[in-house]
Amino acid sequence: MPEKLSREWETFEKTIGVSFKNRDLLTQAFIHRSFLNENPRTGIEHNERLEFLGDAVLELAVTDYLYRTYPESPEGELTSYRAALVNANTMADFANEINMNEYLFLSRGEAKDTGKARLYILANAIEALIGALYLDQGYDVAEQFIDRFLYKRAADVVKMKLWRDSKSLVQEKAQEHVNVTPSYKVVRETGPDHDKHFTIGIFFGEEKIAEGRGHSKQEAEQDAARAALVAKHWLD
């Protein structure tokens, strides 16, 4: 394997509980397209084809799990559960749990960006890893990996109603219980232009109920709405 593509794969394999037969597949899962623009002679493709495959494996595995776990839920709710469970934020959290960020192959420019773009790179990389696992070890091993690290999040998605749009839900609850329409205000804004962090407060009239954070105002508002739902005990 070229020197530029070396990593401590044994450590990562211990983290995920799988030893790859073909390390090139594992390496490919971590190669972002931008890296090959600066290093065109690596001999290994970027991870987008693996991502395409992994997305299909992930969808089947999660769909099967939700179908069996929530037999009373109608099709529309199951679809919403699945969307919440495999969205970019959840998948990036999944990737961070297994330290994928430490192993990515990125261009120098991409390596400096830790904002929204990195979140999507990580979300795509976890799908590519699932695709690599499927090719190297088969569906059962790929599904066991998803089971170990992702299914545990499903209970929170359902219990905390994360499958519903939090802003819509908190507006519905606020109008029902206290007859107000929530408003949102920026409390803090930090970081350079390419990596902004927003803290936004959600208010019922003049009363601040909770705060949320995110790399965009929309993300921070959703986080604030979720926090308000928790604070008001409106998720039961």
Active centre residues (catalytic): 55, 127
Q: SS3 for the chain, per residue? A: CCHHHCCCHHHHHHHHCCCCCCHHHHHHHCECHHHHHHCCCCCCCCCHHHHHHHHHHHHHHHHHHHHHHCCCCCHHHHHHHHHHHCCHHHHHHHHHHCCHHHHCECCHHHHHCCCHHHHHHHHHHHHHHHHHHHHHHCHHHHHHHHHHHCHHHHHHHHHCCCCCCHHHHHHHHHHHHCCCCCEEEEEEEECCHHHCEEEEEEEECCEEEEEEEECCHHHHHHHHHHHHHHHCCCCC
